[in-house]
Amino acid sequence: MKKYLLIAMAVLAIASCSEKKYHVEGTISNAKDSLLVFENIGIEDITVVDSVRLGEDGTFSFSGAAQEAPEFYRLRINGQIINVSIDSTETITVKADYPKMATQYEVSGSDNCLKIKELALKQIDLRQRAIAISENEDLTVRETNDSIYKLVSQYKEDIKKNYIYAEPGKAYAYFALFQTLGDMLLFNPRADREDIKAFAAVATSWDSFYPNSARGANLHNIAIEGMNNIRINDAARAQTIDADKVSAAGIIDINLPDNKGKQRKLSSLKGKVVLLDFHVFATENSPARILLLRELYNKYHAQGLEIYQVSIDPDEHFWKQQTAALPWVNVRDGNGLQSQSLAFYNVQGIPDYFLIDRSNTIVGRAQNIKDLEQAIKDLL
């Protein structure tokens, strides 16, 4: 009996030794007693794989079963993050310095991880430059929006050319697709024609290199959904409302969640005079504009005026705080500047508004209404 037990244990030991594993190891200095968490960045969520309380020397070592396709992980101490990708049985070595490990680290053992580091540093720089623009008090709201839009556009062209299309089958190309600025994806795979092409290119390459992988299938689904949206958008753009031509155009419906999570359709307000207002609460002129709208609402709501306000604020929590006490319909488009509603209504700058009569017909917009209050009174 002991003989069979020894044989079984030997078989298990051999199987254990032969199991293909990856390794992530290294040192993080100045982080004694800090909890280093090793997390898997999944398609739907982020899960903890392992963790360790760092000692005086800051050494760490994590390992796991090799995957058939590249997988993404991150090393995290509080809000400081280092992203890595792992392909099969790689050994990734990371050397970092806390508390600036997100920017001050070295990585070896993977060309993909080196590229991911480049992308992470570029993303941090982009965020800092965007913040500097938004805090520049010499710029108007439109100038701020235009400057940030130009900055993001230039960034995306760089990333597409040098990281995504350069080698779309690489893990870093996949990683590049999902970079963000605040809460907003830089590449919009649901409404931007060129961004959808980038997703499709990586999806096609992953099909070749990693057939049947979950991430490749997910990219395909995203790209297909985006293509379908583009077809819908193209049909809607045929009805795009031009400022110089609007005099009597039926509305293009908007259906977004309000600040209580309820879906609210613009078309449901038929029978009222509606001020369709596009707004960003995180701007310096927002309080004055909200006071103006409050005055109009208080004076004319009982006579049939309603306000349907579309926000593209990136911070949902902030938006909910700002709108909690407002009496009119407040909805938010989480796609920000990539909002389909902005495209459908040809909104070139924010704030902007449209005036809709009781029959759900647009009768004017900000650029061709000289006296908003008088225009409202004429429709009531």
- DSSP label at residue 359: T
Amino acid at 32: K
249 falls in which pLDDT band (50, 70, 90)? Answer: low
Cα–Cα distance list, 190 to 196, 234, 339 (Å): 7, 13, 10
Tokens representing 247 are: 């005099």
Rounded average pLDDT over 309-314:
89
Q: Tell me how far apart the alpha carbons of residues 353 and 25 are, in angstroms, rounded to a whole number.
A: 55
Cβ pair 285, 137 in contact under 8 A? no
Peptide bond into 211 cis (omega under 30): no
Q: Tell me how far apart the alpha carbons of residues 87 and 274 are, in angstroms, rounded to a whole number.
A: 55
Averaged pLDDT of the chain? 86
**What three-state secondary structure class fits 303?**
helix
Rounded average pLDDT over 184-206:
86
pTM of the model: 0.64
Q: Tell me how far apart the alpha carbons of residues 265 and 267 are, in angstroms, rounded to a whole number.
A: 5
C-alpha radius of gyration, the chain, whole number: 26
164 falls in which pLDDT band (50, 70, 90)? Answer: very high
Which pLDDT value is given to residue 235?
55
Which pLDDT value is given to residue 228?
72
- Starting from the edge strand earliest in sequence, which strands make up the sheet with 91-97, in order? 59-65, 21-29, 91-97, 105-108
- Starting from the edge strand earliest in sequence, which strands make up the sheet with 273-279, in order? 249-250, 361-365, 352-356, 273-279, 305-311, 329-332
- To which residue do tokens 């893990």 refer? 171
Rounded average pLDDT over 112-137:
92
Is the pLDDT higher at 294 or at 13? 294
Is the pLDDT at 1 greater than 60, yes or no? Answer: no
Q: What confidence tens digit (pLDDT) does each residue in 9-59 have? A: 444 444 444 578 999 999 999 999 999 999 999 998 999 999 999 999 999
Which pLDDT value is given to residue 240?
54
Which pLDDT value is given to residue 109?
95
Task: Give 3-state DSSP helix, strand, coil % of the chain, rounded to 5.
Answer: 45, 25, 30
Is the pLDDT at 340 greater than 80, yes or no? Answer: no
Is the pLDDT at 161 greater than 70, yes or no? Answer: yes
**What three-state secondary structure class fits 87?**
coil
Which pLDDT value is given to residue 242?
56
Q: Tell me how far apart the alpha carbons of residues 174 and 287 are, in angstroms, rounded to a whole number.
A: 41
